[in-house]
Amino acid sequence: MSIKKTNGISASTLAHAEQAFETSPAHVLADSIAKNGIDSTVLHRDALPAMFPLFSDEIKPMKVTNQRKSGRCWIFAAANLLRYHLRDTLQIKDTDFELSQNYLMFWDKLEKANYFLESVLDTAKEGKDSRVVMWLFANIMADGGQWDMLVSLVDKYGVVPKSAMSETFHSSDSAKMDAIIARKLRIDGIELRKLCASNQSDTQLQTRKEEMISECYVLLCSFLGKPPKHFDFAWQDEKGNFHRDSDQTPRSFYEKYFGKDFLDAYISVINAPTEEKPFGHTYTVKYLGNVIDGKPIKYLNLPTEALARAASEQIRAGQPVWFGSDVGKFSDKDKGILDTSLFPYEQSLQISLDMGKGEMLDFGESCLTHAMTLVGVDIVDQRATKWKVENSWGNEVGKDGFFVMSADWFSQYVCQVVVKKTFLTQEDQAAYEQQPIELEPWDPIGALAHIF
């Protein structure tokens, strides 16, 4: 450490700062900010009319879901995309219909446990002070995930209706479960490193690892319930006709009602305008995944205009869009608005908060924190001016759980959309086929997978 001890905050600096506060325009707002909070004090009400929830193109809504006290947003957003498809295909009358998010959570946790232990074996020769090793042991069993991780789960395990595997206490309030399993896996990881150091054979290491996975399975059954192997699927269509499909398996259900390759049509497109991520190239993140032999994480980096164009075309075709963003920025939960003009902090506090999107990603100001679903867009003069967002925070936030997002908020804080390849240009489709460039595990593009 080379910081000079003589460079502390001096009395003269404090005196100057106090005088600056007394003469600052922010001084006038200080009492209101202290009493009511900064957002209530500076709310720009003139921005609200433009965020009225009316859209030129909108998908017929279903009732919003609720991830409660868990970080399963990516699973909920994907399950929303899937349930809309099933609703439209089977003309399901029940707007409350959901696929089981708990079912996907169970298998995600088990696969993440295996992925972590395999990563420990892969890095066993590195010291415990290696940044990668420290990262792996610090980021165990988070609830978050990425689109390609979801595809891997569905391809391997299928999906089930929520009626076949409902929520439990710990699927809806996951912190304690995550902490217990993470501690167990840290102990297991340390043991595997010691076994590697004692020159155990690969067979011996895999045998011990499989015992650890079995122990993790038992824990997950206790917290989340045992996943069903067979179930009956029943629904009523919009004409009032009753249907029952008996003795389905999770895989047969998925393949019958979606098609084995349904999710293969979708790809992840990001907007990360940073120096080391030029547009038109594909990227992956080291040690990011769940299913070892599943679909690799892969992103195509494009300008934000390309993301908006593809997303709007998919919505206008009647299909929702899974997307990842930094949801906490310029967000009003009560009103259900995401808009950069909503809170004029700079003007009110007389400071500059200007940062480009690339700088925000590079220096920790922004990253992907939440996945949601785009279900509407307002097109004016061939341009998307605002978006309808289906969240997974229940119906007590926003307008019955739905949010309105401005075009500028999309540009600044949406970093990822998942769209069908056919909604991209031929050039961009070709670019996606490139071999991806590897990013470090802590890159902000992978941050959504580490949300607890």
Which distant-in-sequence residues (6+ apart) come within 8 Å of 354 by Cβ?
Answer: 346
> 164 and 100 in contact (C-beta within 8 Å)?
yes
CB atoms near residue 18 (< 10 Å) = 9
Pick from 313, 450, 292: nearest CA to 371: 450
Pick from 76, 39, 47, 42: nearest CA to 407: 47
> 284 and 439 in contact (C-beta within 8 Å)?
yes
> 399 and 53 in contact (C-beta within 8 Å)?
yes
- What length is written for the chain? 452
Phi–psi pair at 126, nearest 5 degrees:
-85, 150
User: What stretch of H or E contains 192?
Assistant: helix 175-197
Pick the catalytic residue: 139, 367, 391, 450?
391
CA gap 84, 94 in Å, rounded: 11
Instruction: Please indicate whether residue 73 is annotated as part of the active site.
Output: yes
Terminus-to-terminus CA distance in the chain, angstroms? 33
Pick the catalytic residue: 170, 290, 370, 415?
370
The torsion of the CA quartet 259, 290, 363, 128, rounded to 10 degrees, works out to: -170
CA gap 9, 11 in Å, rounded: 7
Instruction: Please indicate whether residue 196 is annotated as part of the active site.
Output: no
Which whole-number Å values give the CA distances from 32 to 41, 245, 255, 312, 348, in the listed order?
6, 60, 57, 40, 12
Instruction: Please indicate whether residue 114 is annotated as part of the active site.
Output: no
CB atoms near residue 439 (< 10 Å) = 20
Pick the catalytic residue: 73, 216, 367, 415?
73
Q: Specify the amino acid at residue 282.
A: T
Strands 331-332 and 337-338: antiparallel
Which distant-in-sequence residues (6+ apart) come within 8 Å of 103 by Cβ?
Answer: 157, 159, 160, 164, 165, 227, 228, 250
Query: DSSP for 243-268?
Result: EEEEEE-HHHHHHHHT-TTGGGGEEE
- Residues identified as active-site: 73, 370, 391
